[in-house]
Amino acid sequence: MGTFDKSMTEELNLLLKFPSDSLMQGLKIHHDASQSVVQAAQNLHTKGLITQSDGGYLTDLGIDVADHARKVYSALLRTLN
């Protein structure tokens, strides 16, 4: 098993920004976003997790992965407190 590299961390952070309360809401990555966020969005799109290379909506796979990312994030927060 490996470790999360910087690119994966950026992708996970971007997935956490998608609204979890409504599948009808997405994200738009604006032209003034950092290069790492732009690249993370492009990577997620290439992997089939989001509908557009500049954001859009989570795909079915993206919904599952974002849910897992939220659970990991929540579990790690609990262990720090």
Mean pLDDT by runs of 10 across the 81 residues of the chain is: 94 94 86 94 98 95 96 86 57
* 41 assigned to some structural domain: yes
- Return all residues near 40 (Cβ < 8 A) that are at least 6 apart: 7, 10, 11, 13, 14
Q: How many domains does the chain have?
A: 1
* 22 assigned to some structural domain: yes
* 67 assigned to some structural domain: yes
- Stated length of the chain: 81
Q: What is the per-residue pLDDT for 57?
A: 95
pTM recorded for the entire structure:
0.89
Domain that residue 46 falls in: 6-80
**CB-based contact 4:69 (threshold 8 Å):** no
* 1 assigned to some structural domain: no
Q: Which residues pair with 50 in a beta bridge?
A: 58
* 50 assigned to some structural domain: yes
